[in-house]
Structure 1
Amino acid sequence: MLQTYKTFVIRDWQERDRTAAAHLIRDVLREYGLPWEPEQADRDVIEVETHYSDQGGEFWVIEQDETLVGTGAYYPIERGENAVEIRKMYLHPTVRGQGLGRFLLTALETAVQQQGFHEIWIETATSLAEAVQLYERHGYQKATGVETARCDLVYRKLLPQHTLMD
């Protein structure tokens, strides 16, 4: 996967991105008063291959001038029907407010739909107010069943299903 948006390049995660992605996510979590949990909720960032690549998911990084400034990912989950969870949507503070979050969410949704999934789930925290607004504006509905300790919100979106007649 390789896409561009303005001056940003969105591409598949590579092993060399491990440290930069982990540091970005850790720093954004701290910015919002949330804990970095490399042994629990954030283990997937340390072990991208196991949690994403090997499970039929994808982990993307966003670069600007060859500097990692964002991440976004999804992987299949058991809850729901033929569902994925979008995870690790984080942007460096210097690149927010440029429509990148909207673009990334739409690109993730498109990739998920092209893979034939029917539902998207997202867990987040109330303190991530911009993310909550983004999800709600994109048609995500509040659901129940938060599974991650630092999160207090869960959203679900059903994707349109295409038939052979479309």
Structure 2
Amino acid sequence: MLQTFKDFVIRDWQTTDRIPASEVIRTVLTEYGLGWEPDGADIDVVEVEKHYRLGEFWVVEHQGAVVGTAAYYPVPRGEQAVEIRKMYLQPQVRGGGLGRFLLRSLESRISEQGFRQIWVETASVLVEAVQLYETSGYKAETGVETVRCDRIYTKRLPSSS
């Protein structure tokens, strides 16, 4: 996968992205007062090859530096469902539509893969993320599974038949 948005490059994760991608996520979590959990909720970033075999993990580059991440993988809840994971952007690249573009790109790719439902967990303190999901057709749900999260949303994708 390779896409561009303005002067950003969105591409598949590579092993050389392990530390830069982890650093983006750790930095954003810290910015919002949330903990980086490399042995818990964030193990999928440390072990991308293991956790995203049936999904995808993307990095966002700007001028050669990793400034964002976005991912998804199948989950055993809902029907033909995936969970969007690790959608984080450094502060200096927020506010220009990149997050919305990433979300739409994920939704399009997920739909192409035949999935019908998207789940996403987030935290209320991630105000921009909450607003993005709520203005993009995601509906509040119950059943949060990640300790640092207090919100969960779902979205049904249109059937391609």
- The code of the aligned residue for 2:20 comes to A
- Structural mapping, 1:51-130, within 5 Å: 51-52=51-52, 54=53, 56-130=54-128
Gapped runs of 5+ residues in structure 1? none
Equivalent residue number for residue 43 of structure 2: 43
> Any idea what the Cα deviations from partners look like across 1:76-99, whole Å, max 9, x if unmatched?
000000000000000000000010
Counterpart Cα distance in 1 of 2:143 and 2:50: 24
Deviations 1:78-137 (A, max 9, x none): 000000000000000000001000000000000000000000000000000000000000
Give, in whole Å, the separation in 1 of the partners of 2:3 and 2:27.
25
Q: Can you list the C-alpha shifts for 1:8-29, whole angstroms capped at 9, x where unaligned?
A: 0000000000000001100000
Whole-Å separation in 2 of the counterparts to 1:9 and 1:40: 29
Name the CA distance, whole Å, in 2 between partners of 1:148 and 1:14. Answer: 26
Q: Distance in 1 between matches of 2:150 and 2:62?
A: 31
Which letter maps to 1:8?
F
TM-score (norm 1): 0.96
RMSD: 0.4
State the identity as a percent.
64
Q: Distance in 2 between matches of 1:51 and 1:147?
A: 17
Structure-2 residue corresponding to 1:29: 29
Structure 1: distance between partners of 2:88 and 2:60: 10
- What does residue range 125-144 of structure 1 map to in structure 2 within 5 Å? 125-144=123-142
Deviation at 1:162, TM superposition (A): 1.6
| 1:148 corresponding residue in structure 2 | 146
The one-letter amino acid paired with 1:73 is A
Aligned partners of 2:69 and 2:96: how far apart in 1? 15
Q: Aligned letter for 2:37? A: E
Q: C-alpha offsets along residues 26-85 of structure 1, whole Å, 9 cap, x if unaligned?
A: 000000000000000000000000000x2x100000001110000000000000000000
CA distance in 2, matches of 1:162, 1:26: 37
What is the number of equivalent residue pairs in this alignment? 161
**Partner SS state of residue 3, structure 1:** strand
Q: Which residue does 2:6 correspond to in 1? A: 6
